[in-house]
A and B are shown apart, each in its own frame.
Chain A
Amino acid sequence: MTSKRQRQFYVFCVAPSLAVLAVITLLPALYLLATSFTPLNLTRPETQWDFSSPLISYGQLLSDDRLANSVWVQIKLSFWTVSLQLLIGLGLALLLNVKSRLLEALRTVFLIPMVLPPIVVAIIWKVIYTPDISPMHGIFRAIGWNVPALITNPDWALTSIIIADTWEWFPFTMLMVLAALQMMPQELLDAAKVDGASPWQLTRHVTLPFIQGVLLVAGLFRLIDSIKAFPLIYILTDGGPGSLTEVTNYYSFLQAFNFSYLGFSSAITVVLLAATIVLSWIIIRAVGWGVRVD
C-alpha cells in the first residue's frame, strides 16, 4: 500500500542512481554496440562513424583463427580454475567447519589471497615463476630437478596461470561453502547420526545435497569472473608463449589497445558482454531474486 506521496519520495530517491547508471553503463554499452558496427581503426579517424558495412567485424569474428584459439584457451582456463577452486574450497570448508578457536582464526588467514589487489597477486607469482629469485625453483634445484622457467615454457604456461588463479580465488568458494554450512540445520545432522551414518556418509548424503545450490552459484560467479582474467596474464605471460595463454578478453584488449582495431575489438567484446549478461541472468534465476515477496 503505497500512497502517492510515498511514491514521489521513492522516485526522488531512486532517480539519481538510475540516471547516473544510465549515463555511465547503458550509454557506454550502446556506444560499444555502435562501434562494433564500424571498422574503427584509431590510426584512420574517418572510420569512426563508418556504418557502410555494419556486420564486417562480426564476419571477421567467424573467420579469425586467433580468436577461435582464444576461446579454446578461455574454455580450458575457466574449466580448470573453476573446478579446482570448487574442489579446494569445498575441501577446506569441510575441514574448517568445526567449532574451534584455532580453525576460526585460520578461516580469516585463508582469505588473504582473495583480498589482495590482483596486481599484487600477479607480482607474487611473477616472483615465484622467475627462476633467479624463486623459492620454488630454489627447492627444485636443491633436490636435483632441473625445471625450466614455467611461464615461458609452452607446456606449462597455461598451467602456471591456472595455478596462480586457483590460489587467488579458492578462498571465495571456501567462504561461500562455509556460509552455507553454517546455515545447515543441526536436526538434519542429528537425525542422520541417530540412524548410524558414518562421517563420510554424512558428508556424502546430507551435507553435499544441502550445499549443492551454493556450489552452483559460487561456480557461476567464478565462471563469469574467469572471463575477465587480466592482471595475471598481463604480468606473467602477456598471452604467450605464442598465444597459448591468450584468453578472449586479453585478445580483445590487444586488438583494441595494441593494434588500434577498436571496431573489431568492440565486436568481440559485445559477444563477451552478451555471455556475461546471460550468465548473470542464470544466477538471478538460480538464487531466486526478482520473485522476492516480502
Chain B
Amino acid sequence: MSTRKSDRVLMQALAVVLALLALSPFLWLLVMSFKTNDEIFHWPPRLFFAATLDNYAALWTTDFRGSFANSLVVSVVSTIVSLVIGVPAAYALSRWQSRSGATITLWILASRMAPPIAFTIPYFLAYRYLELLDTLAGLIVIYLTFNLSLVIWMMRPFYDQLPRALEEAAWIDGATMWQGFTRIILPLSGPGLAATAILCFLFAWNDFFFALILTRTEAMTAPVAVVNFMNYEGWEWGRIAAGGTMIMLPVLVFSFVVRRYLVSGLTGGAIKG
C-alpha cells in the first residue's frame, strides 16, 4: 500500500508501542526470575537491581530437575515414535487417491481437536489396570493422540508439493517403492521433517492437563512441578518465575526456528502460512 511517509512512521511507532505493551506481562515474569524475594515485593520496581541466579540454583536442588528430565524424555520419545509411524502414512496418503480420504481427514482432525478430558477419562481408567499411571510410557502413548495426527497433517501437504516424477524415475531405474521412498523422498523431506519434529516436541512439552492427571511423582513433568510450587511450598514467586522461564526457554528458541510453519501446525494444514 502506498501510504504517506508521515503515516508510515506513525504506524511503525504505533506497532512498536503495541508490541511492548503486549509483551510486558511476559517480560515481567522473565525479569522476576532474576529477583530476590524482597526485590519482587518492592514498589516502585527498580530498573537496575542486583540480578541474582539464586532462584535457578534453588530450583535445581529440588525435584524440579527430575521433572525437567521427564519432560525432555517424554517429548523426545513421543516425537520420534510419531515421526517413524506417521511419515510413511503421510507419504502414502499424499500419493494414494482413495475414497476414504475424507473420513480419515475428519478422524485425524477430530483427534487433534478433541477436548483432552475425552481421552483422559478412558486412559485414566485403563492405566489403572495396565499399571501405566505415573509412568513415562503412559504419557508417551497419550501424547501420540495429538502428535501422530500432527505428523500426518503437516507432512501430507508437504509431499503433495513434491513431484511424483522423482520417485517414478527411480522406479524405472529398478528401485523398489520402498527404496524410492527412503532414498529419494526422505532425503528431500529434511525441512518439513525438522519443522514437524519441533512442533511435535513443543506440543508434548507444553502439555499440562494429561500430565496433571496421569502422573503423581515419578513421571511428573516440569509444568506440573512448577504448579506444585504454588500449592505446597507457600508462594515462592522467585522460584515459580524461574521454573516458568526454564519451561519456556526451549519453546521460544524452537518456535523462532519454525515460525513459518506455526500456522499450518496449529490449524492442521488448513492454511499454509
Shortest Cβ distance from B257 into chain A, in angstroms?
Answer: 11
Looking at A53-61, A64-72, A151-159, A268-276, the stretch in contact with chain B turns out to be A268-276
Shortest Cβ distance from A88 into chain B, in angstroms?
Answer: 9
Shortest Cβ distance from A281 into chain B, in angstroms?
Answer: 6
**Interface residue ranges of A145-201 to B (CB < 8 Å):** 167, 172, 175-176, 178-180, 189, 193, 199
Q: Is the CB of A119 within 8 A of B106?
A: no
B106 touches which of A11, A235, A280 (Cβ 8 Å): A280
Tell me the bound Cα distance from A13 to B213 in angstroms.
34
Asked whether B59 is an interface residue with its Cβ less than 8 Å from the other chain, the reply is: no
Interface of chain B: mostly helix, strand, loop or mixed: helix
The bracket for how many chain A residues form the interface is: 35 or more
Tell me the bound Cα distance from A111 to B256 in angstroms.
9
* A179-B40 in contact given A217-B267, A265-B121 (Cβ < 8 Å): no
- A143: chain B residues at CB < 8 Å are none
Asked whether A62 is an interface residue with its Cβ less than 8 Å from the other chain, the reply is: no
Which residue of chain B has the shortest Cβ distance to A27 in the bound complex? B122
Question: Which of A10, A16, A249 has its CB near the most chain B CB atoms (within 10 A)?
Answer: A10
A179 touches which of B28, B252, B273 (Cβ 8 Å): B273
Q: Is the CB of A10 within 8 A of B40?
A: no
Chain B contact residues, CB within 8 Å of chain A: 1-3, 8, 11-12, 14-16, 18-19, 22-26, 28-29, 32, 40-41, 43-45, 85-86, 88-89, 91-93, 95-97, 101-102, 104-111, 113-126, 141-142, 144-145, 148-149, 152, 160, 177-178, 181, 202, 205-206, 208-209, 212-213, 223, 226-227, 230, 237, 240-241, 244, 247-248, 251-252, 255-256, 259, 262-263, 266-267, 270-273
A-B contact pairs, 6 of them (CB 8 A): A14-B89, A14-B96, A98-B11, A109-B19, A256-B121, A273-B115
